[in-house]
Amino acid sequence: MAIVYRDEYGIPHIDAINYCDAVKSIAYCHCEDDFYTIQLLLLATKQKSGHFDDWDGPYLDLICSFFDIPNQYDLIKMLSNEYLALIKSYIIGVNLYAEKHQNEILDKTIFPIKEEDVIIVQHLMEIIGIQLDKPYSFLKDSSEISLPTKQGSNAIAIGPKRSATKHALLAISPHQTIEGPFSFYEVHVVLKEEKCEIHGFILPCTFVIFMGTNFNIAWGSTASYPEMYNIYRVDVIKKIGSGAFFLLGDEKIALYEVNYRNYTKLYGKIPYPIFKSFYRSKLGNVISINGIYYLIDIPMLGKQFGFQQAYELSLCDNIDKVKKLLRRTQYSYLDFVCIDKFDDILFAHCSKERVKDDPKDHYINVLPQNKIIEIEKDLFYNNQNMIFLLNPDCQYIVSVNQSPFMVTDTDTYDCKYKGLIYRKDNSRSKRAKDLIHSHNSIGVKELIEIQGDTKIIFPIIRGIDFTSLLKLDSNRYPSIGYLIEELKQWDGYAEKSSRGAAIFALLFERYKKYYRYSKNPDVIKIAEEKELVDCLRWVSKKLPKKYSLGDIQFLKRGKKKLPIAGIPDSLNTVRPYYYKGELIVEECSAFRMIVNLHDRISLTCHPLGASSNEDDVNYTSQMDMYQKNSYRKLKTMDNYKQYIKGYSI
């Protein structure tokens, strides 16, 4: 039994007997607010998501088929009875909503949902969310092999000696898409039997707080970049009667051709066929790009389940238990920043990388065929290869996707670490550290300012060296000379009133076609003069004179549109797409959260609103707050019970 209290912003505050009751209510509430997205993910397990959505759906279907996610159901063997019980409660909640709202169902064949549906969907979410899908560039009709782009998030902890409150503080800001399958949803629950209160954010088709607080600890995570995948060039042999194969020593590795056939409906009406072909083998999938074959190895596919770890993390009550959990699970792809009620602060770099005979091979984008033998060995570095940093002398931790050895004011390099080691700061980490050092102490006010900061530090922005941009001769290029001079005078702040920010935002958008990433995050792409000139000529055609960033960049949902500050790789990150002369925000701080455990303060803000239903008042109710870098303060459950009429689920 649980009672739900919806506040003025539509956030569900759930007063539950136990975790299972809470999960049933979380499922029902999330369906009330975004049943469409939940269904799209469930449909992807049947490769039918694209039949109803032509934006995310086709890719979800293809990835689910390509990774053979439905046949990873053996994951159930690693799930605890407690987590399986929560899955059953989630199923009850979703099926209950579907039964009561038949008119909202996209495809009745997926209901009632079953245990395996939720497990498959959550693993699919995990695969895409931690970017394991990115090496498969052929899925996007690329003409060449493409390596994962480096996405970002912010998690900053302040220790008691540097804190204005004299107690530990945590600021979280994940940078993800703000609509669709990876949009975050805020939840607040009180569990009577567990004597626990949890506040934070979940993802569609999940039910445990991914980032947030239980008021004993608070935690955030950012993408780490261990060696998540390996790409091998292979010589495929095709013989009549023998099929396709490649040789590994004297062994023939058989290849089984898969012809993926599906369709989507453009604009919900026009059928559009989707055809892809690839090979499966016992060592991984093989794809062909321009007649060259590549085998792509994802070591942890089907071997880890991060949402169960999130459940266990939500019940930890001190940093020591967090460390033990992370060592035991050795989850591969996230860096964690945590604080606890005892004012400890912790950074954990989690990785589980395949052992390689030659350490240099960890940095090579495409390995030769003979190295595939390492897949058959299936050996991994143990949890002693993880990095833990507890209560650093500088009394802060800044984890914003830079090197795990550079999260404080000193290099914490451990020469014993094996695998993909990267060593550099990035623009956001440098800026965050500069801002922290600019204050005698850091309180909630200062963390709010840091979260909303828009300045970028030249010349390296998101792995691209723009030194050549600052050296361009405006006299040599008279048609774009005025843009060159305006960029040289720009102070790097991406405020709405900034003309320089508008120029750079459009230039960066255009420069996407020149992106080339390396497996090693420390490798920098040098922006060439001819590339920059091409981009600036495009900008000159798209940006009216005297227009500033606020005239072209917008946070938009439905009919509401607000000018928004920020730029790629500022702490207040904004990653837009270009459409009809405007930059429309697609990715940004998917939520912002600041936690002070000692005073039970939890502040949050979402860029859009709690509901994805366009006719709901909370479809856009947080946009103005987000634009102004403002926050809402969580109240006690007793307060919500006193002033809000609840409903039972």
Q: What's the number of domains the chain is made of?
A: 3
Domain contains 155: no
For residue 151, name the pLDDT band (cuts at 50, 70, 90).
low
At 232-253, the pLDDT tens digits run 999 999 877 678 999 999 999 9
Task: Extract the tokens encoding 65.
Answer: 């088929």
Strand partners, 574: 588
Lowest mean pLDDT among 37-41, 101-105, 400-404: 400-404
Do 292 and 358 belong to one domain? yes
At 193-227, the pLDDT tens digits run 999 999 999 999 999 999 999 999 999 999 877 78
At 330-360, the pLDDT tens digits run 888 889 999 999 999 999 998 889 999 999 9
Domain contains 633: yes
Buried b / exposed e over 76-101, threshold 16 CB at 10 Å, is: eeebeeebeebbebbbbbbbbbbeee
What pLDDT shows up at residue 70? 87
The residues near 358 (Cβ < 8 Å, ≥ 6 apart) are none
Name the maximum alpha-carbon separation found in the chain. Answer: 76
Cβ-contact 33, 183 below 8 angstroms: no
Distance from chain centroid for Cα 628 = 23
Q: Which of 272, 245, 306 is nearest to 78 (CA)?
A: 306
pLDDT of residue 130 exceeding 80, the answer is no
Residue range 423-434: mean pLDDT, rounded = 94
Handedness of CA 74, 76, 80, 81 (dihedral sign): negative
CB neighbours (10 Å) of residue 221?
24
Cβ-contact 57, 43 below 8 angstroms: yes
- For residue 79, what is the domain's CATH number? 1.10.439.10
3-class secondary structure for 362-412? HHCCCECHHHHHHHHHCCECCHHHCEEEECCCCCEEEECCCCCCCCCCCCC
Q: Which of 619, 608, 600, 624 is nearest to 190 (CA)?
A: 600
Q: Which of 380, 398, 432 is the last residue of a domain?
A: 380
At 48-71, the pLDDT tens digits run 999 999 988 998 999 899 889 888
The DSSP secondary-structure symbol of 584 reads E
d(CA 92, CA 24): 6
At 632-649, the pLDDT tens digits run 999 999 999 999 999 999
The CA-atom distances, in angstroms, between 444 and each of 157, 168, 448, 574, 601 are 11, 11, 6, 22, 10
Domain contains 76: yes
At 60-115, the pLDDT tens digits run 999 899 889 888 767 778 899 999 999 999 999 999 999 999 999 999 999 999 99
Task: Extract the tokens encoding 17.
Answer: 């007997």
Domain contains 119: yes
Lowest mean pLDDT among 36-50, 125-139, 280-294, 372-386: 125-139
d(CA 51, CA 58): 8
The CA-atom distances, in angstroms, between 362 and each of 217, 354, 419, 439 are 35, 9, 6, 40
- Higher-pLDDT residue of 535 and 266 is 535
For residue 570, name the pLDDT band (cuts at 50, 70, 90).
very high
What pLDDT shows up at residue 137? 47
Q: Which of 310, 292, 317, 265 is nearest to 369 (CA)?
A: 292
Task: Extract the tokens encoding 174.
Answer: 């994940």
Domain extent for 528: 460-570
The SS3 of residue 438 is coil
Q: ∠ at Cα 268 (263, 272), nearest 5°?
A: 30
Do 357 and 250 belong to one domain? yes
Q: Which of 357, 348, 410, 423 is nearest to 385 (CA)?
A: 348
Domain contains 36: yes
Do 505 and 375 belong to one domain? no
Domain contains 336: no
Do 8 and 133 belong to one domain? yes
- Higher-pLDDT residue of 563 and 75 is 563
Domain contains 369: yes
The CA-atom distances, in angstroms, between 5 and each of 164, 215, 645 are 33, 20, 7
pLDDT averaged over the chain?
92
- For residue 375, what is the domain's CATH number? 2.30.120
What pLDDT shows up at residue 442? 98
DSSP string, 280-340: E-TT-EEEEETTEEEEEE-TTTTT--HHHHHHHHTT--SHHHHHHHHHHH--SSEEEEEEE
Do 236 and 375 belong to one domain? yes
pLDDT of residue 396 exceeding 50, the answer is yes
Do 557 and 627 belong to one domain? no
Do 530 and 628 belong to one domain? no
